[in-house]
Amino acid sequence: MKWDEKMSERIVVKIGSSSLTSEEGGLNRERITYFAAELAALHKRGCPLILVTSGAVAAGFRQIGYAARPKAVHEKQAAAAVGQALLMQAYQEAFGEFGIGVAQILLTRADFSNRKRIQNALKTIEELLRLRIIPIINENDTVATDELELKFGDNDKLSALVAAMTKASRLVMITDMDGLYTEDPRKNPEAVKIERVDQISEEIMQLAGGAGSAVGTGGMRSKIEAARISMRGGVRAFIGKIQQAGDLQLAVDGTGKGTYFDTQLHSLPMKKQWLGFHSMPQGRIIVDDGAEHALLVGGKSLLPAGIREIQGDFHSGDVVEVTNLTGDTIGRGVVNYEAWQIQAVAGLSTEEVKRRVDVGRIEVIHRDEWVSLR
């Protein structure tokens, strides 16, 4: 299916801090008006739209009296509390010029890890879309922590998770670069832009740069990682520049100023999405080559015979991460054993396992409770 075949399919657009604010901090109203006009044009064509925005901290730190973007958590959270109100006011006024209503939704990593809470959030988004209101989603910086497992760190991953959760057809991530290059084009004019990516290999990841601007937190690498999540969830992604009138339309139509990430995968059921992207693994299982092949290619369950090592103290019913012998994560699953039980039977045959431990089922992870991340 081409990018422009079904304009009624929903689109998630992610706008970063650097696109909405000045380097010194504070909102750039002209840019917000521009993005509202671009989104309004798609809205008029019948596209259900979801906007994932950054910018609360950048919008608020000057207003609150800080000389520069704060680094301490409590200062960032104070700036976000002020800036989020300013950000939503600016969006309401800009979209109001086009007669479009908007709604604020603030999420944290913990919301996604709780199946009930994220299902409630999804129901809210669906109702807003039915009413032709644009949900504007941001991370709830005021209550989020800086712990890696509890904070997105940037909204690139948040936008990918939202796109997968809402079964969007496209994710458009706006950046100041017109796509992914073989090298940094600002340093090497001979760098070549990569127009389309069908699979995100380690080589593609190495092409991504480091941090973004002083105002934003996301660089190209975080966007590539978000594209990987998006593709795994069956959502095609675009990373590029939206700067002039009509650029967003071009991006959606397939001729935008950026790189397209295509996928042949179908959207994952909500249970699999939660398992693969939102759950918090309580431990790790390292498997041998045979078990890796059985899980990724054979569609099999994980048996004790293929396990080499475990890490962490987890219990039956917990989610665990599964890695291969080189340390690469290959997937996640719900484990049927206690950690000590796996430790006692790792590498043993099914018959020997039955003699040593008393478990409800022989599979350490059943294929129905497994999601591949490769």
Q: Is 218 annotated as a binding residue?
A: yes
d(CA 163, CA 237) in angstroms, rounded, equals 9
pLDDT at 5 over 80: no
Q: Is 14 annotated as a binding residue?
A: yes
Do 219 and 305 sit in the same domain of this protein?
no
For residue 59, tell me if it sits in a domain: yes
Domain count for the chain: 2
For residue 276, tell me if it sits in a domain: no
Residue 153, pLDDT score = 56
Closest CA to 198 of 142, 172, 143, 237: 237
Written as one string, the DSSP assignment of 295-308 is HHTS-PPB-GGGEE
How would you class 8 by CB atoms within 10 Å of its CB: exposed for 0-12, middle for 13-18, buried for 19 or more? exposed
Do 137 and 43 sit in the same domain of this protein?
yes
- What angle (nearest 5°) sits at the alpha carbon of residue 14, between those of residues 138 and 114? 45
Do 171 and 83 sit in the same domain of this protein?
yes
Task: Tally Cβ neighbours within 10 Å of residue 234.
Answer: 18
Q: Terminal CA-to-CA distance of the chain, rounded, Å?
A: 23
- In the numeric block, which tokens belong to residue 49? 């739209």
For residue 317, tell me if it sits in a domain: yes
Residue 367, pLDDT score = 94
pLDDT at 86 over 80: yes
- CATH number, domain at 292? 2.30.130.10
Do 98 and 126 sit in the same domain of this protein?
yes
Closest CA to 155 of 226, 58, 205: 226
For residues 214 and 238, the model is more confident at 238
Residue 8, pLDDT score = 61
d(CA 215, CA 205) in angstroms, rounded, equals 23
Do 256 and 303 sit in the same domain of this protein?
no
Do 95 and 53 sit in the same domain of this protein?
yes
| Residue 134: strand pairing partners | 102
Q: Is 54 annotated as a binding residue?
A: yes
Residue 146, pLDDT score = 54
Do 232 and 358 sit in the same domain of this protein?
no
For residue 51, tell me if it sits in a domain: yes
Tens of pLDDT, residues 145-164? 554 344 565 789 999 999 99
pLDDT at 18 over 70: yes
pLDDT-above-70 percentage for the chain: 92
Do 224 and 354 sit in the same domain of this protein?
no
Residue 216, pLDDT score = 39
Q: Is 221 annotated as a binding residue?
A: yes
Please check whether residue 326 is in contact with residue 286, taking contact to mean a CB–CB distance below 8 angstroms.
no
| Residue 320: strand pairing partners | 333
Q: Which of 221, 252, 271 is the last residue of a domain?
A: 271
Q: Give pTM, 2 decimals.
A: 0.81
Confidence at 206, pLDDT banded by 50, 70, 90: confident
Residue 151, pLDDT score = 56
Q: Is 176 annotated as a binding residue?
A: yes
Do 184 and 83 sit in the same domain of this protein?
yes
d(CA 105, CA 87) in angstroms, rounded, equals 13
- CATH number, domain at 233? 3.40.1160.10
- Print the domain residue range for 303: 281-372
- In the numeric block, which tokens belong to residue 73? 């958590």
Question: Distance of CA 186 to CAs 182, 183, 240, 358, 368, Å?
Answer: 12, 9, 15, 62, 47
Q: Is 223 annotated as a binding residue?
A: yes
- Span 198-213, average pLDDT: 72
Do 252 and 293 sit in the same domain of this protein?
no
For residue 158, tell me if it sits in a domain: yes
Question: Distance of CA 249 to CAs 10, 256, 356, Å?
Answer: 14, 8, 62
Q: Is 222 annotated as a binding residue?
A: yes
Q: Which of 271, 295, 315 is the last residue of a domain?
A: 271
For residue 4, tell me if it sits in a domain: no
Confidence at 109, pLDDT banded by 50, 70, 90: confident
How would you class 192 by CB atoms within 10 Å of its CB: exposed for 0-12, middle for 13-18, buried for 19 or more? exposed
d(CA 311, CA 343) in angstroms, rounded, equals 9
Do 80 and 138 sit in the same domain of this protein?
yes
For residue 142, tell me if it sits in a domain: yes
Beta pairing class for 196-197 and 257-261: parallel
| Residue 105: strand pairing partners | 137
Do 267 and 287 sit in the same domain of this protein?
no
pLDDT at 349 over 50: yes
C-alpha of 332 from chain center: 17
- Span 37-62, average pLDDT: 94
Closest CA to 301 of 362, 236, 374, 238: 362
C-alpha atoms less than 13 angstroms from C-alpha of 205 in its C-beta half-sphere: 8
pLDDT at 209 over 90: no
- Span 234-241, average pLDDT: 94
C-alpha of 272 from chain center: 15
Closest CA to 233 of 53, 371, 50: 371
pLDDT at 267 over 90: no
Please check whether residue 333 is in contact with residue 291, taking contact to mean a CB–CB distance below 8 angstroms.
no
Q: Is 155 annotated as a binding residue?
A: yes
pLDDT-above-90 percentage for the chain: 63
For residue 251, tell me if it sits in a domain: yes
Question: Distance of CA 284 to CAs 150, 292, 294, 365, 373, Å?
Answer: 18, 14, 18, 12, 14
Instruction: Say whether 350 sits in a helix, a strand or coil.
Output: helix
Q: Which of 242, 271, 300 is the last residue of a domain?
A: 271
